[in-house]
Amino acid sequence: MLSSLVLAPAGLATDPPAASGSLAVFVLAGQSNMEGQGVVDLDHPEHYNGGRGTLEYVMAAPGAGDRYDHLRNTDGTWVVRDDVFVRFQTRHGLKAGGLSIGFAGYEGKHHIGPEFQFGHVVGEAIAEPVLLIKTAWGGKSLFKDFRPPSSGGDTGPYYERMLLEIDEALAVMATEFPALAGRRPVIRGFVWQQGWNDMVDATARAEYEDNLVNLILDVRTALKSPDLPVVIGELGNDGENAGPPMRELRAAQVAATSRPEVGDAVRFVKTTAFARPAQESPNTGHGHHWYGNAESYFLIGDALARAMLELLPKK
């Protein structure tokens, strides 16, 4: 069913040619599921379930159709885009370059996150080049680690690091990406994929709606963009079979995106339909990471991108 609903990026209407030397910047923030846990090609029979649910596995599956055709060159190598760039400061070091596989929190090029298909979709729809600034850390809560200033108490250290990484990315843009030198960066959207660490704590769950509203408003203030489009990805792990704590967290996400103070430029994106069974995934014990299923991360990125495009001002 989903394969008939998710179109390849080429099916998108595009903006008219850019009239200026601008650069569309999107910030992709959150915790480990934004870091990226989707396995590309690891297929150890014990540790990766024989490769079930990897990107290579789902691309080769019967009925995959043309969903994934844009990911590989004709010689079988992975496409590296020259119009969409990614910057991600991981715990292992900086990853920066043209969009392709590997911009996840692990060393090497064996994982993807939401940025992967997000970048392909947005890159096809926007005339000017695109820069994705990923700023994410595993095991972090909105209640404490990302706590926005308006929530009171101590501002979260990772909220501050997130803003510092955005500033740094823009400051060194021309050096790290020579093709973008001279371009005028415009932050066009903020994407948030997070929630697990708040979900497992009752006090954090109770505050999540208010904290998420404050995050949206504080990020807009910090980035000097009061109407900045914001997309919130649902904590959709394990689909509709989730227990009460996760359902409570999801309800808080929906409520926050519906609050009048955040305005109309906000979208909540359901992701439960993208959950895949553990037995069809490479990391069978990692429900908190969508079992490492690459199709889940591909579809999440696709949905986040399409929601973002709906919010962007029409030229």
Q: Are 214 and 151 in contact (CB under 8 A)?
A: yes
Q: What is the pLDDT of residues 25-74, one digit of tens each?
A: 999 999 999 999 999 999 999 899 999 999 999 999 998 878 999 999 99
The full 3-state SS of 250-282, as one line of letters, equals: HHHHHHHHHCHHHCCCEEEECCHHHCCCHHHCC
CA dist 19 and 21 (Å) reads 7
Return d(Cα 178, Cα 157) in angstroms, integer: 31
CA distance readout (Å), 86 to 17, 38, 120, 130, 263:
22, 17, 11, 9, 29
| Cβ–Cβ under 8 Å, residues 32 and 141 | no
Residue ranges per domain, the chain?
Answer: 22-311
- Is residue 151 within 8 Å of residue 211, measured between CB atoms? yes
CATH class of segment(s) 22-311: alpha beta
Q: How confident is the model at residue 19 (pLDDT cuts 50, 70, 90)?
A: very low
pTM for the structure as a whole: 0.93
Give the pLDDT confidence of 213-245 residue by residue, as tens digits: 999 999 999 999 999 999 999 999 999 989 999
